[in-house]
Structure 1
Amino acid sequence: MDNLVTSLSKQNNAIKKIQQSLRKINKHEPDATKRISILNTEISIVDRNLNKLSLDPSMKAEIENSISEAKAEIPHLEQIAKKEFGNNLNNILQENGFVLEGNYPKLRTSVYTIIIDMLRNKAELYYGPEIEKIESCKPIADDVASKLLNHYNELNQNEFSNETFLRNVYDAYSMCLLINNKKIGDKVSIQDILFSYAFIIQNKKFKQNPLKKYYHEYNRVSLSYDLHKLKERKIDNMELTLVTAKRAETNNKLNFLWLPSSNEKGMGQSISSIKFSKVE
């Protein structure tokens, strides 16, 4: 008897879930992106619970037909959603001086790449060509634009001093030479430079007591964009050279650093190391 009661209870719960999902599927939703999300979620619930039921074959067939009709909506909705998203995002970006380029699922603007998956209701935002992931969000034009513009503003919020940055890079380079028993003119990996540079720019409080609350964050994107902004590469009697990464080095993200082009369009360049050389 207990097993029968448990079985009936499970059947009843499955029926309730299917009923709720069918109501949501049948409810009108004018927004294509939201409609796709609803259909994907509720169709999955129906499919999962339908297998748990012992239904009359005709009723089961009717439910399956309803789900098939709902699934058939999705490709058309996806095209509508892509068009609406692209137009809205392009308008917002243009108002802020950016240009949207590319084709679905991969869009580009300035130093950013946007990967869109309407069916999963997801947008992935990258700095560079799918290298440094910023974050994920829903494919809503206002949200995507806001996150990209905020990130771009953060990259440019501090006044950039060519001399200060270059001197700090040289100090980081010198530290790496000392640690690795190298000499001026030798190449130092970009990963080692980042580690040393991030330490050099820390304030006195952190160096005296290296607590998280005193740490000034400086990551791969920060170094990439600062190197991009660098206009003069000579300091004292030394000149900075950025060493282009070989194809094999780009197989591992940690072995190279992507830099935007001077106009922040196109593919940019990838470097694996830097070096300073004496100049007359």
Structure 2
Amino acid sequence: MQDTKQKLFVYTIGILFGALLIVSNSVKAESYIEELEKTWIQPVEGTITDTFGTRNGKHKGIDIAAPEGAKIVSVSDGEVVKSYYSDTYGHVVFIHHPEGFETVYAHLNKRHVEQGEKVKKGQVLGIIGNTGISTGTHLHFELHKGKWTFEKDHALDPLFVFNEDEEQTVYTGQLDNGKNNDSVETNTVPSIDRGNTIKKKITVVKGDTLWGLSDKFKVPVLSIKKWNNLELDIIYPDQDLTIFINNSENYVVQPGDTIQSIAAEYSTSPEEIKKINDITSDKIYPEQVLVISKK
């Protein structure tokens, strides 16, 4: 009997220690991201047209629209691990950062760095474009904890590490390799406009869970926790939460669709659709993804 009680005591202590370890790691992760907020910069000045987790959870980054010719810069120091042309990403650059993250810069018009190069925070990686599977001039930006994988199972919401209230110093100069690397001409990178993203205040009711809210509002659980400084996965009735919602719809073009027919379906105009997606003609193609503003 005494032996059984001792085993039960050890088992209970083990469970409590495991729970404390999980909480401790969660707090460390939150603190680490907060540190990155102070040091990382935005990759381009522009307007967010699509957020993380849309398209039924398949969109593993954010889309930032900016004018043609806009420079895309590295968010932090790192090393170029890939720089090539992809059928889907178009001209794309992958950067590994010493903090243990990997960032992806896709749909570029031109690439200014090669695989193996060391880059500084704020160094120009390329010029914004519309290459690969893209619906307009924009940057598709991804953030991954560890290495990028085809399944993108390590993807994080990039808005975690973008401090929108402070100006950030960026790199202007040469690297040790002696190359005259293109760089940002100013010493700050302006904030990113959240575009169609709206801020919503909600009050938790009995039965709500983070996973339920994530599914309802089509945003990741991690994002909800970050926006509300939550360390645990627990919420309670009458708790007030802030959620950022992408106030737009994405429509996948089907065979036979025209801009006119899509505009009529969504009670908008062809001109509005073209403006939002930064396209100049009425030509669209099957499987093209169009952003449609909600009325």
Task: With the length of structure 2 as denominator, give the TM-score of the two structures.
Answer: 0.25
Larger radius of gyration between Structure 1 and Structure 2: 1
Report the TM-score when normalising by structure 1.
Answer: 0.26
Which structure features the higher share of strand residues? 2
